[in-house]
Amino acid sequence: MLEDRRRVITGHNASGKSIVIIDGPPARISGSDTRGLAEIWNTDNAPVNTQDVNDRADINVVLSPIANGSKFRYFAIAPEDPSLSDEEREARVAERFAAMGATHERVDTSRHAAMHKTKTVDYIILLSGEVTLLLDDDERDLKPFDVVVQRGTNHAWINKGKEPALLIAVLIDADIE
């Protein structure tokens, strides 16, 4: 699922003419093909240098962008495993968040182990499958092509179905308390 994604990144040649500088799969994937993140592109400040020829996604995969930065990525949500105990689910989720450098973003997991809050505004589109967006006091079931603007809220993505769900997201650093 994630490894099969293609990204086409444009740039400029030495004469200033537009060209394709990257045409291939994501540079880095964290997690598994059905439960993970695949980086497409990142920015690390504003204004963005469009003359940069480096693969901006070929860095360690972390959940949130750096200050004044952004992340553009695919992410996959595997179906929930009903056979896991609460303790096993907590341990697995904690391990995944630690691998993304995001332990500190798990501020209130009382509703679900995957709850987290980032200091970002996120534009998210569900591409395939079905997921439920859990919030502290609300939830919404999503179907393909539904969009979410997630504005620094404590949330989790839960797949109650039988197939992995594929989403795409842009995360933008924000001034959120």
Rg (CA), the chain: 17
Task: Report the chain's mean pLDDT, rounded to a whole number.
Answer: 88
Residues 81-92 have a mean pLDDT of: 93
pLDDT per residue over 108-133, tens digit each? 999 999 999 999 999 999 999 999 99
Supply the range of the domain harboring residue 86.
26-177
3-state secondary structure of 37: strand
Residue 75 inside a domain? The answer is: yes
For residue 79, is pLDDT > 80? yes
Residue 4: inside a domain, yes or no? no
What's the structural domain count of the chain?
Answer: 1
In a domain? residue 21: no
- Helix, strand, or coil (residue 92): helix
pLDDT greater at residue 48 or residue 105: 105
Q: Is residue 10 part of a domain?
A: no
* Domain assignment present for 11: no
* Peptide bond between residue 47 and the one before it cis (omega within 30 degrees of 0): yes
- 12 within domain boundaries: no
What's the token pair of residue 112? 């679900």
Helix (H) or strand (E) segment spanning residue 98: helix 86-99
Query: How is residue 72 written in tokens?
Result: 């553009």
Distance, in Å, from the CA atom of 74 to the CA atom of 41, rounded to the nearest integer, reads 10
Phi, psi of 95 (to 5 degrees): -65, -45
- Rounded to whole angstroms, the Cα distance separating 27 from 83 reads 33
CATH number at residue 162: 2.60.120.10
**Does the residue 8 lie in any domain?**
no
Q: pLDDT band at 38, cuts 50/70/90?
A: confident
